[in-house]
Structure 1
Amino acid sequence: MSVQLFEGKDHAAAYLQYRVAPHELISRIMSFMEKRTPNQFKLAADVGCGSGQGTILLAPFFTKVVGTDISQAQLEMAQTTSSPPNVSYRQSPAEVLPFVSGEVDLVTAMTAAHWFNRMEFLLEADRVLRPGGCLALLSYTMDMELEYKDQSDMLNKICKEFYAALLPFRDPYIGSSSKKIYLDMFESCSYTDKEWNECLRIKNPMPLSSYIGMVETFSTYQKLLKKDPAEAKRLSDDIRNKLLSAMKVSSPETEVTVVLKYFCWLACKP
């Protein structure tokens, strides 16, 4: 069974507001598929879809896209947004997907598979994929960087303080490195046609407040928030003020560039 987090309505709302969608990686996934089974894109399943930012990016390429998630709060938030008519959502664990065997052209999980029962999920993905269907798992490391004028080095020293303060609250289920989880899953996948892509740096301009908001959606911050709300607020405020001081600005709505370091692996079922 998947680890159940991200259940609260406030957390789900923040997830929708602050999490970014991996536009660049969707084109990479579709390029991988088109080289193997062109013009066979009927059904995509986005597993652990959360509030649906990634799910809707698949809509132009498939007849039907279904986002699944174990969290009802996340799915309710996904349904508050304007989705293309071919996108729908269903509540289910990642290890028991609501599809018949061999029905799905693409199974993907975007920044979610590290929470699944990984071997059960791989078996279930294999069950629902058709021959020639593809599996795409992607995520990013938590050491996001900031770029702002000539202050980037100083900003990133402050960001490392933020991450270090949250490290003790990392869930033991994902251990010290989520990348290792994905590498282990990649090695466990029996498909011979597969590829690993590492350190795809994707830049996202956003207000500084949105960067802080994104970090606050992480499970580590949410655990601190639950344990000690005053300390969680103090930490966020302290990091925000240090960043503003380094940038020599007063408004947290000042735009910075957030650099996310994605990795992903792709595989085609024989």
Structure 2
Amino acid sequence: MAELFTEQAKQYSEARPSYPPELFQFIASKTPARDLVWDVGTGSGQAAVSLAGIYKNVVGTDTSQNQLEFAAKLPNIRYQYTSPVMTIADLQGSVAAQSSVDLVTIAQAMHWFDLPKFYQQVEWVLKKPHGVIAAWCYTVPEVNESVDLVFEKFYADSNPYWDPARDLVNDKYRSIEFPFKPVDGEDDTGPFRFKTERIMDLEAYFTYIRSWSSYQTAKKEGVELLRNDVIEDFERAWNEDGKSKKVVTHPIYLRIGKVGNACQT
């Protein structure tokens, strides 16, 4: 799916939701050391930038060079293009040494991964016994009852164009394979719920929708999901209270665990 995000890299970097400070504070509270983070599938660096304010160094990797070009540059972030198929030797050469990483993060990306292979890499690179993996997804936007009713129909129309991996997001990562131990202070690995909110006008809302992989897939197949009648429905619902901007909420669901009971290399 990386090619879809490559083609729309600028749009995706502008439209993708940001993440709340509370999410990163919770994750950081579970890592005893804060020296090095590997942010996998970093895209245009939304998570990496927040992590860089807490951890000494961040390595953000992605299989899309175009996405990385739009990532915010900070002195303690190193962005690295990686092949979709990465070996342990590649990991050591381009990301980090064995048992050297305090935290591995994956923001809205883990449902695309070959998880058994990825977990072997996570097990190899994390410090023992306190290294932490944190993966989260955000689900569909929530505005208000009127807009959400229109969106519900629109989202149903988009379903045929999503990759099957999207089902893991719709399920809030509850059913994703996650063979790790609960972090200290928690009884399980989640999902734990957070939320991010952003004030948007309708055009920004449409820009976000157009950044979806399903929208791009439909477009390639000659299908316009945001037809004129759909746009009109959204406009009526959006403007019924006379306000041009809305608070758009994205629920976020976090799975977090530590090494010690994961896949062995």
Shorter-normalised TM range: 0.7 to 0.9
Distance 1:177 1:124 in 2: 21
Residues 102 and 224 of structure 1: CA distance in aligned 2, closer, same or farther (over 3 Å): same
Partner in structure 2 of residue 191 of structure 1: 181
1:160 counterpart = 2:152: yes
Normalised by the size of structure 2, how large is the TM-score? Answer: 0.84
Structure 1: segments with no counterpart, 5+ residues = 147-151
What amino acid is the match of 2:200? M
Q: Within 5 Å, which residues of 2 pair with 1:145-184? A: 145-146=142-143, 152-172=144-164, 174=165, 176-178=167-169, 180=171, 182-184=173-175
Q: Distance in 2 between matches of 1:200 and 1:91?
A: 29
2:96–2:125 contact (8 Å) kept in structure 1: yes
The structure-2 alpha-carbon separation of the partners of 1:60 and 1:105, relative to structure 1 and needing over 3 Å to count, comes to: same
2:119 and 2:40 map into 1 onto residues whose CA distance is 12
Aligned counterpart in structure 1 of residue 76 of structure 2, from 83, 86, 91: 86
Deviations 1:67-111 (A, max 9, x none): 100111111222xx3x22111200114663322211111100000
Rounded to whole Å, the distance in 1 between the matches of 2:166 and 2:201 is 31
Residue 32 in structure 1 maps to residue 24 in structure 2: no
Q: Answer whether contact 1:103 1:129 (CA < 8 A) is retained.
A: yes
Q: What do the CA deviations read for 1:141-189 (whole angstroms, capped 9, x no partner)?
A: 2x3211xxxxx212111111221111110113x1534355833445x41
Q: Which residue of 1 aligns with 2:205?
A: 211
TM-score scaled by length of structure 1: 0.82
Who is 1:239 aligned against? Answer: 230
Q: Contact 2:200–2:247 (CA<8 Å) still a contact in 1?
A: yes
Q: How does 1:63-142 map to 2 (within 5 A)?
A: 63-78=56-71, 81=72, 83-93=73-83, 96=86, 97=91, 98-131=95-128, 132-141=130-139
Q: Is the 8 A contact 2:104 2:122 kept in 1?
A: yes
The answer to whether the 8 A contact 1:212-1:236 is kept is no
Match in the other structure for 2:263: none
The answer to whether the 8 A contact 1:47-1:94 is kept is: no
CA distance in 1, matches of 2:30, 2:150: 38
Equivalents in 2 of 1:55, 1:108: separation in Å?
A: 9
Aligned length: 247
**8 A Cα contact 1:105 1:129, kept in partner:** yes
Distance 2:166 2:208 in 1: 21
* Aligned-residue CA RMSD (Å): 2.4
Distance 1:177 1:43, change over 3 A: closer
**Corresponding residue number in structure 2 for 1:257:** 247
- Residue 149 of structure 1 corresponds to none
Deviation, structure 1 residue 43: 0.7
Please report how far the alpha carbon of residue 192 of structure 1 lies from its aligned counterpart in structure 2 after TM superposition.
4.9
Q: Contact between 2:36 and 2:101, CA under 8 Å: does it hold in 1?
A: yes
Letter in 2 for 1:159: F
* TM-fit CA distance, 1:6: 3.3
Greater than 6 Å deviation, 4+ residue runs:
none
